[in-house]
Amino acid sequence: MAIKYCVSLYSLQEDYLLGKRDLEGCIAAVANEIGAEGIEVLLDQMPLPSLWENDRVISDKDLDTWFGWMDKYKTVPCSYGADIFTTMYSNRYLTKKENLKITQQDLRAAAQLGFKVYRTGIFRKEDVVMLETCLPLAEELGIRIDTEIHTPRGIKTWYTQDWLEVIHRTGSKFAGFVPDMAIFTTGMTISSKKRNIRMGAKPEILDKIDEAYRTKTKLSEDDIKKMGGGAVDIMANNRMSMAIYDDPQWLKEVLPYTVHFHGKLYEMNDDGIDPSIDYENPVKVLVESGWDGYISSEYEGQRDYFDQGCDIYMDPVDQCRRQQAMIKGYVQKFS
């Protein structure tokens, strides 16, 4: 039983967008620069050509290319990131039949590429029904349908509990969860604070917002205005109100159905931690539970730099490398 390390290529999206790395280059960076073996990919963001050319059906040529990369870089396909494409069209929602077809096509593609986890989300009650319908196919293909537990949808919300009920009722070994470390948010992120200040927020008010969240108190819009805050300060406060901190002990409810974890990070500080997320206590639970699975670095702080232009952002490879060093330190501490 061991915790293993993975990187979501979502972390490298700006490098990909700007042409600094292609898909192979992102995989190479995971192996050679970050030092992880696991690969998580959102192929709608970094597509293999045939997934778009052939109506989401992957070609033999792309399969050969993919497994050639896995062999070349000694990497392992871990998690295939997908969405339920309800709003694919601007003028209407997809029908249940259309959603089911796309999900089944993606499950087949993910299994062909060697992924063991099909990571998706639940946003509506009907998504639960649709994903349950796909469980027999998942079992046939040997791939898990794991729904993400992501702020503001925590462990004790219906998004998680309804899927847990499906797991218990069906007894399926191919249904589970991908918890995201953002459900253990402890305060304002470094990157969002920098962005808010650039947009005109007052640093002292941002500190008060951060302090209020950390002490489990709430500031109202009137409170912000009384401090002399404006629209950006109010927006920052509203954003913090959406954050959650689940009790790390609650993980034990979903760990039996979890083989993949999203290691969300926004920005590492000079002490080698992301001060906005509690990693220490959840990792302690993982170690003490003897959990066996991958923690996938998911750097998301780049979006807070987009107001300056798409070519200004923190080095995502360095961010992931430093984060994995932090996690390994906690694993060693509690082992």
Prediction pTM value: 0.95
Residue 86 tokens, joined: 């309800």
Find, among 281, 271, 322, 276, the residue nearest to 5 by Cα.
322
- Spatial neighbors of 168 by CB under 8 A, at least 6 apart, are none
pLDDT value for 52: 79
Instruction: Say if CB 131 and CB 143 are below 8 A apart.
Output: no
Is 179 in contact with 156 (CB distance < 8 Å)? Answer: no
Helical residues (DSSP H) of 171-279, grouped into ranges: 190-198, 203-214, 221-226, 231-241, 251-254
Q: What is the pLDDT of residues 195-245, one digit of tens each?
A: 999 999 999 999 999 999 999 998 999 999 999 999 999 999 999 999 999
Q: 56: which 2 tokens?
A: 């989401």
Give the separation between CA 235 and CA 326, rounded to whole angstroms. 31
Question: How much is the pLDDT for 1?
Answer: 64
How many beta carbons lie within 10 A of that of residue 29, not counting itself? 23
Q: 3-187+243-334: which CATH architecture?
A: Alpha-Beta Barrel (3.20)
What was the pLDDT predicted at 326? Answer: 98
Whole-number pLDDT of residue 130: 95
Task: Decide: 178 and 241 in contact? Cβ < 8 Å.
Answer: no
Show me where the domains of the chain are located. 3-187+243-334, 188-242
Q: What is the pLDDT along the chain (335 residues), one digit of tens a residue?
A: 699 999 999 999 999 999 999 999 999 999 999 999 999 999 989 999 998 777 888 999 999 999 999 999 999 999 999 987 787 788 988 898 999 999 999 999 999 999 999 999 998 999 999 999 999 999 999 999 999 999 999 999 999 999 999 999 999 999 999 999 999 999 999 999 999 999 999 999 999 999 999 999 989 999 999 999 999 999 999 999 999 999 999 999 999 999 999 999 999 999 999 999 999 999 999 999 999 999 999 999 999 999 998 888 999 999 999 999 999 999 999 99
Per the listing, tokens 């953002």 go with 182
Tokens of 132: 């349950």
Residue 220 has a pLDDT of 96
